[in-house]
Amino acid sequence: MSSLSLYDTLTRTTSSFVPLKKGEVGIYLCGATVQAPPHIGHVRSGVNFDILRRWLTKSGYNVTFIRNVTDIDDKILHKAVHENMPWWAVAMKYERAFTEAYAALNVLPPTYEPRATGHVTQMIELMQVLIEKGAAYAPGNGDVYLEVRKLSSYLTLSRQKLDDLQPAADVDAASSKKKDPRDFALWKAAKPGDPSWPTPWGPGRPGWHLECSAMAHQYLGESFDIHGGGLDLIFPHHENEIAQSEAAGYAFAKRWLHNAWVTASGEKMSKSLGNSLQVHELLKSVRGIELRWYLGSAHYRSMLEFSHEALAESATAFRRIESFLTRSVEILGAQPTPVLSQAFTDAMNDDLAVPTALASISEALRAGNSAITAGDSAVIESSANEIRGALEILGCDPFDPAFASASAGEDLTAALDGTIKLALEQRTAARERKDFAASDQIRDGLAALGITIEDTAQGPRWSISRDGK
């Protein structure tokens, strides 16, 4: 049995994963800033880390998975003006959109999902510690800053030098109270009309970075195993989290994992691409399980170049796997029992090498399909078990109730099945009397309704072939 190795952005190397506490893993994932509907880049992060979580759980760890919601932020405030809604209504609206997207993709709910606005107390406490230790200062204008010059370890995650950074453009130096232009705001004084919370330094609202340090500390303690997020968070967000937390005396994250982007036309996804790559839009052309399969199929550290063609192709490949499992149930009369193959396990243990793991599924699929032709139920069963075991880890198990069709009830399905079987009996009769015109008419008629007929050794079977949900 191999053991898990994971990459670490801090060391830029892959190393054996050893938890701080035997049998336990604490993960903090930077979740969404709820200021717009989720696009597939956002949920790729969710899917990638969900696979990590499932794999750790399967490996026997008790995983505490914290994924925050940033529900107060400049963009949310702007959006509130734009949409003529209170800022908290904007945050809630998009938080729900994210929750729905995660659910559609079978991303397991976090152990806890803390909101920034619910942790102002912890943030104030953290700032007090930082000020006491001399790492932060409140210049009297209501802001609180972290003094980055004092931190020798600052910028080690992104491997930059403080003096090489381009000077921040956010402040006109004249009015700034910062000791150094690169000092960053832990807390921002309230401007007229802004939401605010009372603090010892005056009313204000959280800076972007402070929340994560405060919440990670609250739920995972001074030190925890894995901190994750998108590549673009390395600097400044994660760098600043480290600065705040270490200056407060916490050891903080032992390992950093960052997922790469979904790109379109070689570029990182952005709002300029419009709404077409929102999860909500894409789910009109493929099912959630298919979108998840696509997003999870590339290695988490590799860029995934999005195209509608690639997505459609990926969905086709997935249906092929799903179709085998469906047929295995028809033949064996029972759902497969998830089993992990050695090849799959080894691949996953190698820094979650999902693409390699998928190759093992392909092999099992071929063996399983051949076994159907040969009527070898032992091999059908073992192949189906192995495939289901793999799909379960990838969060793409078609038997998972999370993917159960919400629209068609069981009664309806049974009625449809009976109806189609009547037609198929007619067709079989026609074929037996070699009236192929009549049999083809039935098949074409069903095809026009989106129902595909396949003649198998066990007789005809049908499936709904139309795209969509």
Residue 237 CB, nearest approach to RNA (Å):
7
Please return the burial class of 342, using the count of CB atoms within 10 Å of its CB with bins 0-12, 13-18 and 19+.
exposed
- Spatial separation of the C-alpha atoms in residues 322 and 464, rounded to whole Å: 13
Specify the length of the chain in residues: 469
Q: Which is nearer to RNA, 404 or 429 (CB)?
A: 429
**Tokens 């972290």 — which residue?**
146
Which of 204, 178, 202 lies closest to 191, judged by CA? 204
If the CB atoms of residues 370 and 405 are measured against RNA, the closer one turns out to be 370
* Closest distance to RNA from the beta carbon of 343 (Å): 9
Cβ distance to RNA smaller for residue 406 or 437: 437
> Is 21 or 366 the residue whose CB approaches RNA more closely?
366
Q: In the complex with RNA, which residue's Cβ is closer, 20 or 37?
A: 37
Q: At its nearest, how many Å lie between RNA and the CB of residue 269?
A: 3
Task: Give SS3 for 5.
Answer: strand
Q: Which residue from 411, 413, 385, 382 is spatially nearest to 399, judged by alpha carbons?
A: 385
* Least distance CB 304 / RNA (angstroms): 5
CA distances from 107 to 92, 111, 357, 402 (A): 19, 12, 19, 10
* Token output for 416: 């449809």
Closest CA to 236 of 131, 170, 160: 160
C-alpha to C-alpha distance for 49 and 27, rounded to whole angstroms: 9
* Closest distance of CB 406 from RNA, Å: 27
Kindly state the smallest distance separating residue 190's Cβ from RNA, in Å.
12
Smallest gap from Cβ 267 to RNA, in A, equals 4
For residue 383, the number of C-alpha atoms closer than 13 Å in the C-beta half-sphere is 26
Secondary structure element (H or E) that encloses residue 129, with its range:
helix 120-132
For residue 20, the 8-state DSSP code is: S
Q: Which is nearer to RNA, 34 or 56 (CB)?
A: 34
Whole-angstrom CA distances from 274 to 38, 44, 106, 373, 419 are: 12, 18, 25, 47, 43
SS3 per-residue string spanning 135-193: CEECCCCCCEEECHHHCCCCCCCCCCCHHHCCCCCCCCCCCCCCCCCCCEEEEEECCCC
Least distance from RNA to the Cβ atom of residue 22, Å: 28
- Residue from 288, 279, 368, 293 nearest 329 by CA: 368
Between 63 and 234, name the residue whose CB sits nearer to RNA: 234
Write down the least CB distance from residue 397 to RNA, Å.
19
Q: How far apart are CA 454 and CA 469, in angstroms?
A: 21
Q: How far is the CB of 243 from RNA (least distance, A)?
A: 9
Using the minimum distance from each CB to RNA, give the nearer residue, 230 or 389: 230
